[in-house]
Structures are given as structure tokens and as C-alpha cells.
Structure 1
Amino acid sequence: MTAMRGGGQFRAGLGGELLSEFLGTFVLILFGCGSVAVAVAGLPGSGRQETPFDAGNWLIIAFGWGLAVVFGVYVAGGVSGAHLNPAVTLAFAARRGFPWPKVGPYWVAQLLGAFVAAALVYALYAPAIDAFNAANNIASRDQSVPTYAIFATFPAEYFNGGWWGPLLDQIVGTAALVGLVAALIDNRNQAPLSNLAPFLIGLVVTAIGLSIGTNAGYAINPARDLGPRFFTWIAGWGDLAFPGAGPWFDNYWWIPIVGPLIGGVVGIVVYDLFIGGVLAARLARPPEEREPTPEVGRVPEKKRS
């Protein structure tokens, strides 16, 4: 009985939040990396696609990741808030009062969820990966950039091995993600009703993939990249994973970690500077100073709850 009470206390507190972050991130990576596996190796090897990787495959990836976010957030949102991303956790600690002592445990849970999901994607698609390498005369996994891309990210060839372009890409992409998440969950603003926020957050990720995704694979999430990267390092992709060395890039592993962590804080600060602070100032005014009727084209000020 005592053990049952102890287990209940664990689930009711931080332990339950960590289980939620683990499972939500697991769902995110399972569907996200799974969609890349379909586009890169699954369709070509299955006999269902005869053309090379093209724009249609990129649409599979973009919408696959978007839907992965939707369902990951629905899984975890009611327990942990569904951060599913160390950059989100850091931004919420910096600007939303999320407790700093929880940041490290959340990061660990997210990383473990991503790692385990990557292992499951590999278990599902190992035959397709091996068939892809054989069909393309790739002798070993540590030479197979396309199949490595199923799990983790790398920069586009046009950066010529430079780190500033990919780092800026990750900062901007994550800033857009976190800033828009802040807008979508801000009840002082035009936050979506009827529990639609997860769908719209998923569409944010889809939009990022469709607009700047080819620069560096739009990791925009340290756990999304680092967890599967650890797995690929163990599973035989070698230097492609760590230190992140390929035909046109080297020592890349840190960029999808540092860039998103910077970008997440930048995104929420920008939102607060331009929108959040304005909403707070409007709500702080006494009722007698508020406009009884807003100007044409302006949204009325919301009443205090």
C-alpha cells in the first residue's frame, strides 16, 4: 500500500511530468523520423516510387513532422505542458516562470524519449536502410548521408562547410517556433479556442520546414537532433553522427544544440517585446482609462478575468 502511494506521488509530481515529456517526445520522433524514413528509403525500396527524391518527398517530411508535433502535444499537453523541446523549456524558464530546477530533468526526459523513438524507427526501417545503401552502392553506413538524414541533421552543401549560416538558420527557425508558440498559448491575445493550439503549433513546424527547412534540416530542437544522433553513432553511422563530419561539413554536432537554445530565448523575448508587453500594459490600465469603443480595425481590449 505504501509502495502504491509512493508511485502515485511520483506520478502526481515531477515524475509524472517527466513521463509525459518522455512519451510526448517519443511520439514526436517516432512520426517525424518515421516520415523521413518513408521519404528517403521506404518508398524507393518498396517499389512504390520510381523517381528520385523530389519535392513530393519533401512534402511528406514537412507534413510528417508537423503532424508529429500535433500528436506529441496532445499526448503530453495536459500533464507537462508538452514542451518536447529543450529550447522551449529554457525559454519558458527564462520568461514564463517555469521552475529552473525542472529544466535539467525535462531535458533528460526529452532526450531519452527521442533516443528510444529513434531506435524504434531504426528497428522498423533497418531492411529499407540496408536495401537503399545496397541499391546506391554505398559500402557502409558511415558513408551513407541520405540514411543518416533519417535520424539527425546536417547543413546544405551551399554553406561550403561554414558554421555561421547553419547556426543562424537554427537560431531564426527556433525563434520563429517559440515566438509563435508563445502567441498561440497567450490567452490575452487571439489564442485559438476549442483545444486547437496543438494543430496550429504543428502547422508552425510545417511552415518552417517548407520555408527554411533545406538550409540545415530544421532540427529547431536539441533533443530531436541529439537523441537520434546518439543512436546513429551507436548503430554504425560513425563520424557522420559524432563529431558530425561528412563530405561537405565537419564538427557539426553542436550547432543543432546551441542554435535552438539561443533561438528559443530570442523568440520569446521578441514576442514579449512587441506583443506580450503591449498586452500586459493594456490590461494594467484601470478600467476608467480604457477605450469604451476601439477604433475601427482594432481588436477590443479583453477584460480581466
Structure 2
Amino acid sequence: MVKLRVKNALIRECMAEFLGTFVLLMFGCSAAAQVKTSRETRGQFLSVNMAFSVGVMSAMYLTMGVTGAHLNPAVSLSFCVLRKVSWSRLLPYSLSQLLGAYLASALVYLVYYDAIMEFSGGVLTVYGPNETASIFATYPSEYISLGRSFLDQVVGTGMLLLCILCLGEKRNTPAPPGLIPPIVATIVLGIAMSMSANCGGAINPARDLGPRLFTLTAGWGVEVFTCYNYWFWVPLVAPMIGGLLGTVTYLVFIEWQLPDPDPPSDLSLPPTPGKDFKELQAATGSGVELKMARF
């Protein structure tokens, strides 16, 4: 068993990001498939939101000890900007997250294949009352403009980073490490329940692009990219910008305004030349020993 341990640190971290994102999408997309194909007789919109939140919590407990559980390229980018993660990790982490989301979507499709085919009549499409593409990727509501949907994703992801960056700050009100996953899951649930009606609340480029690529290869076709005036780029670009804006907002309004950290309690005071000299001379009893001690 010891021989199975991967020695390369980057590979270990990518494995963790892959598996964590896989678990996240397994919970979320499975719930979406169950709700959609049952025509909301086995769950509703809230069920999907809660399932994604449980997926976040489970994935974080699973991978926090390896990478800190980013599970999201926008989070990885923000941590690179904060110098908490090396920039050389950004692309490998993002690709691992993307692959995890893709393969999770494939497994959900296999598990719910019969239900999807029965619901859609065997026609895999993005539009209409029997569309099934939204089980996997996110799509905008018909009433929303492109610019407003971009703003929607910027705000949602900004709120995510703004609220999670404070959890480990010891100068503020830090969360106990073991409670960080359920707290983050609750934050995600809050965002999903309040900011997902317009565009599905992706707030995660890997969570959207991975399933979208899967639907492209599984029978839905290029329509998953061309629909709604090529809307697919919005959940890729907007969350990255939103994550950076949330990070900057946290730094300016909170982190840079916190009190300076307390000095270590065991930090000794500067020596008082005359007093310390006399005390040391009395203790040593000889000028030679004192001179050696000083050097």
C-alpha cells in the first residue's frame, strides 16, 4: 500500500482537486437529473441547491488536507493572487477540476440514462419542455440579457469569495477548521437559493464547462455552445472576474483594516546595558567569562 503513494506533490494535489470536483458534480447533477426527469415529483429546485451544497461539504472534507479544497478555478485564481498558492498550480488545478466535472457528468448520465431517454423521448436537446441539457450545464433564462447574466455571475462568485476568505483569519472571527466545510456549504446554499434563477448559479467555470463538454460529446451536439447567442462563455469568464473582485473587496474592506497581529508572547525585551552587564558579571564572577558570553 505504501508503494501506491504518489511522490510528486503536484500530482497528489491534482488528484485531490479532480476527485473533489467529481464528488461535487455527482451530488449536484444527480439531483438535477432526479428532479428534471421525475417532473419535480421526486424533488424540487431547492433539492438541487441543497445537493450541490452537500457536494461542496463532502468534497471539502475529502480534500482539504491535500490542497485546501479549491474545487473551482475562480477560487484557485484568487488564492494565487493572494500568494497562498503558487501560480504554477493554477492551470493544473483548473484542468483537474474540469476533468473531474466531465467524468462526474458522464457517470450521472449512465446512472440516469433510462430516465433521461424516457423524459426526452430519446431527443437530446437544449430547448423546449423536454430539454435535458440543463441537468448538466447551466443556461440563462429567456428573459435575461447577456450583460445582465454576466453581472449575475460576477456578483454570485464575488459573494462566494468575499464570504469564504474570512473563515481562516485569526485576527477576525476564525471558524474552527473542522467546521469550515459545512460553513462554506451553507454559503453556497445561500447563493444558490438567492442568485441562481437568472442563469443557474454556476459561479464555477469547471462546474459549467466540464458538463457542457460532456453533453457536446454525448449527443446534445454543438447547440450546447451556440444556444442563447453563444452564451457559454459567460459562466467561464464572469466567475473569474467576480472572484477577483470579491477578493479585492475583502482585502480593502476587511483584511487591511484588521488590527496588527500581536507579537509572540515569549518575545524578550531589549537588554538594559548597565543593569544586564552588572547582573551577568555577578553571575559569572569573572570579566573573562563575561566577555566570552557577550560574543
| Superposed pair shares fold, TM > 0.5 | yes
1:133–1:144 CA contact under 8 A, matched in 2: no
Counterpart selection for 2:188 from 205, 225, 250: 205
Match of 1:296 in 2: none
In structure 2, relative to structure 1, the CA distance for the partners of 1:226 and 1:194 (3 Å cut) is closer
- The alignment of Structure 1 onto Structure 2 pairs a total of residues equal to 262
Match of 2:113 in 1: 126
1:40-81 per-residue CA deviation (whole Å, 9 max, x = no partner) reads 11x34xxx929xxxxx61110111111111101111111011
2:161–2:247 CA contact under 8 A, matched in 1: yes
What amino acid is the match of 2:36?
A: V
Q: Percent identity?
A: 40
1:85–1:222 CA contact under 8 A, matched in 2: yes
Q: CA offset at residue 194 of structure 1?
A: 5.3
Q: CA offset at residue 149 of structure 1?
A: 0.6
Q: CA offset at residue 142 of structure 1?
A: 2.6
Match of 1:40 in 2: 36
In structure 2, relative to structure 1, the CA distance for the partners of 1:77 and 1:115 (3 Å cut) is same
The separation in 2 between residues aligned to 1:241 and 1:64, in whole angstroms, is 24
What amino acid is the match of 2:117?
A: D
- Structure 1 residue matching 2:170: 3-state secondary structure: coil
Name structure 1 gaps, 5 residues minimum.
51-55, 288-305
Match of 1:9 in 2: 7
The separation in 2 between residues aligned to 1:39 and 1:20, in whole angstroms, is 29
Match of 1:267 in 2: 246
2:125–2:132 CA contact under 8 A, matched in 1: no
- Structure 2 residue matching 1:84: 3-state secondary structure: coil
Alignment of 1:38-77 (within 5 A): 38-41=34-37, 43-44=38-39, 49=41, 57-77=44-64
What amino acid is the match of 2:93?
A: Y
In structure 2, relative to structure 1, the CA distance for the partners of 1:143 and 1:197 (3 Å cut) is closer
The separation in 2 between residues aligned to 1:189 and 1:40, in whole angstroms, is 42
What amino acid is the match of 1:171?
A: V
1:123-152 per-residue CA deviation (whole Å, 9 max, x = no partner) reads 001111111112xxxx62135564111100
The separation in 2 between residues aligned to 1:28 and 1:268, in whole angstroms, is 23
Is 1:19 the counterpart of 2:15? The answer is yes
Is 1:156 the counterpart of 2:119? The answer is no
Q: Normalising by structure 1, what TM-score?
A: 0.81
Name structure 2 gaps, 5 residues minimum.
266-295
RMSD over equivalenced CA pairs, Å: 2.2
The separation in 1 between residues aligned to 2:96 and 2:73, in whole angstroms, is 10
Q: CA offset at residue 285 of structure 1?
A: 8.8
Is 1:235 the counterpart of 2:222? The answer is no
2:16–2:67 CA contact under 8 A, matched in 1: yes
- Structure 1 residue matching 2:138: 3-state secondary structure: coil
Q: Normalising by structure 2, what TM-score?
A: 0.83
Alignment of 1:74-113 (within 5 A): 74-113=61-100
The separation in 2 between residues aligned to 1:240 and 1:204, in whole angstroms, is 32
Q: CA offset at residue 193 of structure 1?
A: 1.3
